Copies of this chain bind each other. A is one copy, B any other.
Amino acid sequence: MADKLQLLKIGGKVLDDEALLAQVLTTFLHLEGRKLLVHGGGKRTSELSERLGLTPKMVDGRRITDAETLEVATMVYAGLFNKMIVSKLQSFGVNALGLSGADGNVIQAHKRPVKTIDYGFVGDIDQVDSAAINRLIQADFTPVFCAITHDGKGQLLNTNADTIAAQLAMALAPLYHVTLIYCLEKDGVLSDPHDDNSVIPELTPDTYAQHRESGVISAGMIPKLDNAFNALQVEVAEVVICGPQSFSRGGGTHLHR
């Protein structure tokens, strides 16, 4: 039986609220076995961009990453949030080590090709070096990944943190019994977006398809769930969608193959 590895992804509201973040990191600290964290950048990237006089460019709800926005993202994700999380985990006795995809060449990506939209310096992942990441895990470090990758030719790239989490989970699945945990704001996938208590406790590909068709599952949740079911098909043992509260109780929405 492979060792357990729990992979937690946090972002958005959790990163923006110091008390929530502390709560989530405390739950993370008590997880058994090997673990790994992935984070995005919350509102701070847009805030910093605005303070610098840059206008966040969005197309279809997606951020366009021009050269200046990439610099801001690199500063906020790889600098501010990554080091804040690492130092906080260290204070809890977790031997955290912060990583972008460039560090140790652990995640290599390519700039997304321009079709109708030029997303700018956005990277789609080509390969995850699970052996290098495992060397760090086996050396007793707890890797903390930010949402920055690189192309191996000296170009940093902005990559969706949910996707990084799913790709890491899939790459490490042959080595560990991997649980992928997405910690969002709400306590799980809701069947009624206006009722925080309407958490769907379990989802299978079939029930997910039904809920999608009937419009029960909100549009914003669909890319996350697609990523998650994709990961389950590539040997990831478990996927959980939860919030800070349900994470601490082992609750949330559990996804099964």
Identify the A interface with B (CB < 8 A).
Answer: 51-53, 71, 74-80, 82-84, 86-88, 90-91, 95-100, 102-105, 135-136, 139, 141, 148, 150, 152-156
CA A91 to CA B155, docked complex, whole Å:
9
Which of B76, B82, B102, B135 contacts A87 (CB under 8 A)? Answer: B102
Which of B71, B136, B150 contacts A80 (CB under 8 A)? Answer: B71
Q: Are B52 and A148 in contact (CB under 8 A)?
A: no
Which of B51, B79, B135, B154 contacts A91 (CB under 8 A)? Answer: B154
CA A46 to CA B96, docked complex, whole Å:
29
Starting from the known contacts A98-B98, A98-B103, 13 additional A-B residue pairs (CB-CB under 8 Å) come to A74-B80, A74-B84, A79-B80, A83-B102, A86-B100, A87-B155, A90-B102, A90-B152, A91-B152, A91-B153, A96-B102, A96-B104, A98-B102
Shortest distance in angstroms between A54's beta carbon and chain B's nearest beta carbon?
Answer: 10
Known: A75-B79, A79-B77. A156 touches B84 (CB 8 A): yes
Contacts of A154 in B (CB 8 A): 87-88, 90-91
Contacts of A53 in B (CB 8 A): 51
Shortest distance in angstroms between A44's beta carbon and chain B's nearest beta carbon?
Answer: 10
Shortest distance in angstroms between A34's beta carbon and chain B's nearest beta carbon?
Answer: 15
CA A100 to CA B105, docked complex, whole Å:
17
Contacts of A103 in B (CB 8 A): 83, 86, 96-98
Q: Are A83 and B95 in contact (CB under 8 A)?
A: no
